[in-house]
């Protein structure tokens, strides 16, 4: 029996990992929606090259296929777009990319939305797809909601609109329905996001008040910016949903405000370090140590890092965004003639900086942890 044809519409890390998960059960093609090119990936290649960023940096010779033919023949299409527009336009960008994909969908296809939405978001997607294709979900088209958490390939849940062959294909790929319906799935995922975020927001706000009052908290806030910034896209989707309800929309909006204000808190704390150590801007280099994935679906973490970098440059000209692996690999990213103020943005990045500091004890270096409490180390 021939393997079903599966397409990942979006050259993203999440899509690449998802492709590796299903490649033994299907013929998998990944579409770079920006360049409008399609590439078939086999199990051998995916096992030999488990990381998309490494693949792209090596510039491998890959065979390309006509986009229209690939999508026209696809039995299952996963919507895994790479979103990079400014933060206030990212939801519109997602809609535009789904509209573009809909042009190629054919009768009998199973369309799988792997991009999280707010409550009611998939209903809007279904209306858009039906209008673009002339097909009807539940009749001539299957629609499924399998939201992927940032940098993960396993969906948080599985919900399907429609029965028949499309649902069977998804089950054959290992995706068995876990929610009553798509709307129930939206509510479940939104609830899990708010539950995860609210703990971080509470830490940020309590730590901010403690800093202002110059008091210490018995339990220091340990969550890093990398972990509590990963749901910015979801919060925007929940806040902008008509189906959410006023109180839930307010919670999402308050969380967004707190997370966005964190950049200002971090900059203020950095200024305090410069002041206390009497560091001159011209004699200081700031290293923002953050291991970011340039190919993840959401662009919010990348934009947050850029925003923090630009704000820091108002006070110190020499500000560099440094991956943790690079700071472990050598001293070329540090300046031996300046005081190196390193801001670690995740637990792993913090460990990388600590290792670098041990290896270069003679170098002038200060470590600031980008946790909710902005602790110094």
Report the pLDDT value the prediction gives residue 215, as an integer from 0 to 100: 87
Rg of the chain over CA atoms, in angstroms? 23
Is 185-369 the same fold as 5-179?
A: yes
**Domain ranges for the chain:** 5-179, 185-369
Second-level CATH architecture of 5-179: 3-Layer(aba) Sandwich (3.40)
In sequence order, the 6+-apart residues with CB closer than 8 A to the CB of 285 are 316, 318, 319, 320, 334, 335, 338, 339, 340, 341
Report the pLDDT value the prediction gives residue 332, as an integer from 0 to 100: 81
In sequence order, the 6+-apart residues with CB closer than 8 A to the CB of 63 are 39, 40
pLDDT in tens, 140-164: 999 999 999 987 889 999 999 977 7
Q: Tell me what percent of the residues of the chain surpass a pLDDT of 90.
A: 70
Report the pLDDT value the prediction gives residue 61, as an integer from 0 to 100: 53
H helix or E strand, kind and range, residue 217: none
Tally of CB atoms within 10 A around 85: 14
Nearest to 255 by CA among 318, 364, 247: 247
- For the cut 90, the answer to whether the pLDDT of residue 214 exceeds it is no
Report the pLDDT value the prediction gives residue 105, as an integer from 0 to 100: 94
CA 205 to chain centre: 24
Give domain 185-369's CATH number out of 3.40.50.1400, 3.40.720.10, 3.40.50.880, 1.10.8.60.
3.40.50.1400
Q: Give CA–CA dist 350/17, Å, rounded.
A: 26
- For the cut 90, the answer to whether the pLDDT of residue 270 exceeds it is yes
Report the pLDDT value the prediction gives residue 133, as an integer from 0 to 100: 94
**pLDDT class for 228, splitting at 50, 70, 90?**
confident
In sequence order, the 6+-apart residues with CB closer than 8 A to the CB of 54 are none
Q: Give CA–CA dist 70/31, Å, rounded.
A: 9
Report the pLDDT value the prediction gives residue 210, as an integer from 0 to 100: 86
Q: Tell me what percent of the residues of the chain surpass a pLDDT of 70.
A: 97
Q: Give CA–CA dist 146/158, Å, rounded.
A: 5
pLDDT in tens, 302-348: 999 999 999 999 999 999 999 998 887 666 888 989 999 999 999 99
Q: What DSSP string describes 218-231?
A: SS----BHHHHTTT
In the structure encoding, which two tokens stand for residue 89, read together?
Answer: 């336009």
- For the cut 90, the answer to whether the pLDDT of residue 216 exceeds it is no
Q: What is the mean pLDDT of residues 12-19?
A: 95
Q: Give CA–CA dist 120/210, Å, rounded.
A: 39
Q: Give CA–CA dist 38/70, Å, rounded.
A: 7
In the structure encoding, which two tokens stand for residue 118, read together?
Answer: 């707010």
Q: What is the mean pLDDT of residues 161-180?
A: 89
Report the pLDDT value the prediction gives residue 110, as an integer from 0 to 100: 95
In sequence order, the 6+-apart residues with CB closer than 8 A to the CB of 216 are 210
With beta carbons less than 8 A apart as the criterion, state whether 284 and 338 touch. Answer: yes
């Amino acid at each position: 029996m021939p393997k079903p044809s599966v397409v990942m519409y979006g050259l993203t890390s999440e899509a690449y990992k998802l492709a590796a998960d299903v490649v033994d059960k299907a013929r998998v093609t990944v579409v770079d929606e920006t360049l409008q090119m399609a590439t078939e990936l086999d199990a051998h290649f995916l096992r030999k090259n488990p990381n998309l960023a490494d693949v792209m940096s090596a510039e491998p010779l890959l065979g390309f296929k006509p986009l229209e033919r690939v999508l026209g023949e696809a039995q299952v299409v996963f919507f895994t777009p790479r979103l990079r527009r400014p933060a206030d336009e990212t939801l519109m960008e997602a809609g535009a990319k789904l509209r573009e994909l809909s042009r190629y969908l054919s009768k009998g296809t199973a369309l799988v939305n792997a991009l999280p939405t707010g409550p009611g978001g998939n209903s809007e997607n279904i209306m858009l797809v039906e209008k673009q294709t002339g097909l009807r979900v539940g009749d001539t088209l299957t629609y499924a909601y399998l939201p992927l958490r940032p940098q993960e390939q396993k969906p948080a849940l599985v919900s399907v609109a429609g029965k028949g062959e499309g649902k069977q294909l998804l089950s054959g790929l290992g995706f068995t329905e876990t929610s009553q319906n798509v709307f129930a799935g939206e509510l479940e995922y939104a609830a899990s996001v708010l539950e995860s975020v609210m703990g971080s927001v509470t830490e940020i706000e309590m730590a901010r008040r403690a800093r202002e009052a110059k008091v210490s908290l018995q339990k220091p806030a340990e969550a890093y910016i990398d972990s509590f910034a990963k749901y910015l896209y979801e919060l925007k989707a929940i806040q902008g949903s008509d189906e959410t309800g006023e109180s839930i929309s307010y919670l999402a909006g308050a969380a967004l405000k707190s997370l966005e204000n964190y950049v200002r808190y971090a900059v203020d704390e950095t200024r305090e370090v410069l002041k206390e150590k009497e560091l001159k801007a011209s004699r200081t280099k700031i290293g923002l140590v953050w291991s970011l994935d340039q190919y993840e679906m959401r662009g919010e973490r990348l934009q947050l890092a850029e925003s923090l970098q630009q704000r820091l440059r108002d006070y110190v000209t020499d500000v560099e965004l440094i991956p943790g692996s690079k700071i472990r690999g050598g001293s070329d990213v540090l300046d031996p003639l300046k005081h190196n103020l390193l801001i670690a943005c995740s637990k792993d990045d913090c460990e990388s900086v600590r290792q670098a500091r041990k290896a270069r004890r003679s170098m002038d270096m200060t470590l600031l942890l980008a946790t909710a409490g902005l602790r110094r180390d």
